[in-house]
Chains A and B, each alone.
Chain A
Amino acid sequence: MVETANANPNVEHGHSAQPGDEGSRRDFIHIAAIATVGVGAVATVWPFIDQMNPSADTLALASVEYDLSKVLVGSTASIKWRGKPVFVRHRTPKEIAEAVADDHAPMREPAADASRHKPGKAEWLVLIGVCTHLGCVPNLGGTYGGWLCPCHGSVYDTAGRIRAGPAPLNLFLPDYEFLTPTKVKIG
């Protein structure tokens, strides 16, 4: 076969004129076409992004109910909620007193103990058991009688407030409510 000729768009073709060298009405149709492509592309991309958001079955499991009567004084239960642990701590009067006593101590994120539990339910501490540093699960322990994160040594007190180490914030509180005096609904 004969070598193909190299057409140069800048060279006049036999019968063809260059597109775009016409009036604005001709240009308009190209701009409209490109704009339509853009609209379509944006609308098409969304389903491909949104599919990675939580699906309906994941959202359906977003709240759990928990019977507190199983948690004895001085012990802590871990429940799985949205794939993460929730600490339910049945605090002793001593632990409550320690936490209240420290309300005005210097802290990274100052918070009164009363803001860490539901009114009149000081013995029940419900926290999301995820270190606010980089997401590890703290263990019971540490110098403040609360939790110590095994990853980078963040120390939390008996109200879940950050007292030492690299974590910037106190342990988060989940949305929860008491359905009965011994039953909470988390989420």
Chain B
Amino acid sequence: MLRHALRGALLGVGVAGLLLSATSATAKSKWEEAQHPGFSFEGPLGKFDQGALQRGFKIYSEVCSSCHSMNLVYYRNLAQPGGPFYNPKYPNPNDSPYAKAIAADVKVPDIDQDTGDAIQRPATPADHFRNPWPNEAAARASNGGALPPDLSVISKAREDGPNYIFSLTSGYPPSPPKGLTVPAGKYYNPYFPGDLSSFWSGPKDKVPKGGFIAMPFQLTPNRVTYDDGTKATTYQEAHDVATFLDWASDPKQEERKQTGLAVMIYLLVFAGVVYGSYRAIWRNVAH
């Protein structure tokens, strides 16, 4: 029996070794690995930092929202449990004065029910975030043919989401590497996926990592003034907006992790009790 186990273990080690060596030998990545600044919501028990969510929402509404829609996020979401403006005094997010006030400051398009005219009315908590563009064609026309992606689920829709958002938004170099021809209306970013070899005039084995992105560097220091007095560095702004976008992608994350903790405790107790029952039943059977 022991010999079998040994042989199995050896085989397993062999396979693992082959896989490892194989992984290391594959083609090198054409863009930079995302940095890991560390987020409060990481790990099985991580939670969102409400201050960071509020600051991140401020960045979104004052910077990102002029080009990026968030069609799946509603003003009411801001005040729901776990949201940036949740307050236990207002358990119903639709009645929260925060959600109402934030929504009321925004004008959203609607149809006048009597005349049929297109109008702009103040938003309510039931409205989704205002879309800066009337349609996709308008968005492309204003952005040199590129479509600014909807940010509702962007953190789930990118590998290593929050780290990628942080790295991309804060990782623009002061100037592109010498020898790289940057097309008009494009910007070099080492974290953006792409293949730059045809734009590179330097040595073939020194092609810069990264790609061209249609969004210029946005998160300059003091781009916004934080209400809580936090210093608005590029790093802080990128960190906050990544936190906010990760929450927006997965607003039930805290609820999920807390439920998971209870489920895990229950299942472990359950397994223990049933194992005891199993041992008792099989006690006298030789098998």
Contacts and interface: CB of A to CB of B under 8 A. Distances in A.
Interface of A: 13, 15-17, 19, 22, 26, 29-30, 32-33, 36-37, 39-40, 43, 56-57, 59-63, 70
B285 A60 contact: no
A16 B44 CA distance: 44
Contacts of A57: 74, 126
B284 A30 contact: no
**Residue from the set A22, A36, A40 with the largest chain B CB neighbour count within 10 Å:** A36
B80 A29 contact: no
B285 A13 contact: yes
A15 B286 CA distance: 6
Contacts of A29: 273, 276-277, 280
Contacts of A32: 273, 276-277
> Secondary structure at chain A's binding surface: helix, strand, loop or mixed?
helix
Contact of A16 (B76, B114, B276, B284): B284
A36 B273 contact: yes
Contact of B266 (A33, A40, A61): A40
A30 B280 contact: yes
Interface of B: 74, 76, 80, 92-94, 114, 125-126, 266, 269-270, 273-274, 276-277, 280-281, 283-286
A30 B285 CA distance: 17
Given A26-B280, A33-B276, 19 more contacts: A15-B284, A15-B286, A19-B283, A22-B280, A29-B277, A30-B277, A33-B277, A36-B270, A36-B274, A37-B270, A40-B270, A43-B266, A56-B76, A56-B80, A59-B92, A60-B74, A61-B126, A62-B94, A63-B94
A60 B126 contact: yes
Contacts of A40: 266, 270
A16 B280 CA distance: 12
Contacts of B274: 33, 36
Q: Report the 7 A-B pairs with minimum CB-CB distance, sorted nearest first.
A: A17-B284, A60-B126, A33-B277, A16-B285, A19-B281, A29-B276, A15-B286
A70 B113 CA distance: 11
B85 to A, nearest CB: 15
A70 B126 CA distance: 24
